Structure 1
Amino acid sequence: MTDDRLPAHLEVSGLIRAVEAAGGFGMVLSKGERTAGTLMVVCCNRATLSRAYERMPQLDGTRKWTLTKQQDTENPMEFSDYCRRRGQQDPDLWVVELDIENAERFIDVAVHNS
């Protein structure tokens, strides 16, 4: 079985370029394994709380973007600590910040605001 995934460094580069082309800002917070690394995308914007998404393996073999952490207004530093710890726990993990309104659109995640 072959893995047809795009190499991590190319996916990260593409995400950042797409966000910047749309007028936002993208930055690598932590570099992971160049080819087979996994991604955590931090979506932020001054108008919303930060959200972290990771692609999680599904039972059918696909990998779906899943919200793993959302910033808490009562303890905003907890979110930064979480992102830092995740990067330390998994040396293959890329942590990428996308600073633009509705950043989830770049990873094809629908956001439902209540």
Structure 2
Amino acid sequence: MNDRLPIDLLVSALLRRANDAGGMAMVLAKGDSQAGSILLILNDKGRFSGMLEQGRDLDGRIALVSAGPPDTALPDEVTSYWQRRRARDPDLWVIDLDIPSAQRFAAETIAQH
């Protein structure tokens, strides 16, 4: 039996927590509800601050790793990156997260499960 929570539950929790904290989270692309992974586009007050992707650490625990273009990327570069990733991995969920301390917020929600 797999101890991993379904991805759609993690996404729902992330959306709900962001809303409750006064931020915003939006699903840009839905992936597989059970076996997909998550790519997060991080923003703070509409300003792009980086990307994180769900992965595993050396001990097999869920972790968030840096992905995509640098935090100085233009919006078109960010969109192009996630669309290329999604074309190669249709199971990938893409979430746009706009909340202060987005990286910490995402880690608290996703990496803790």
Give the TM-score category using the shorter length.
0.7 to 0.9
Higher helix share: 2
> Aligned partners of 1:23 and 1:46: how far apart in 2?
11
After superposition, the C-alpha distances for 1:44-95 in whole angstroms (9 at most, x for unaligned) are: 123643311012233332232101123335x442122101111111011100
Task: Report whether the alignment pairs 1:72 with 2:72.
Answer: yes
User: Partner of 2:14 in structure 1?
Assistant: 15
Residues 33, 93 of structure 1: 8 Å contact kept: yes
Aligned equivalents of 2:55 and 2:47: distance in 1?
24
Question: Equivalent residue for 2:89?
Answer: 90
Identity of aligned residues (%): 38
Which stretch of structure 1 is more off in the superposition, 93-102 or 64-73? 64-73
CA RMSD of aligned residues (A): 1.8
Q: TM-score, normalised by structure 1?
A: 0.82
Give the corresponding residue for 1:106: 105
Number of aligned residue pairs: give it: 107
Quote how far apart the aligned CAs of 1:18 are. Answer: 0.1
Larger radius of gyration: 1
Q: Tell whether the 8 Å contact from 2:41 to 2:48 is kept in structure 1 after alignment.
A: no
Question: What is the TM-score of this pair, normalised by structure 2?
Answer: 0.82
Unaligned runs of 5+ in 2: 109-113
Q: Which residue identity is paired with 1:32? A: G
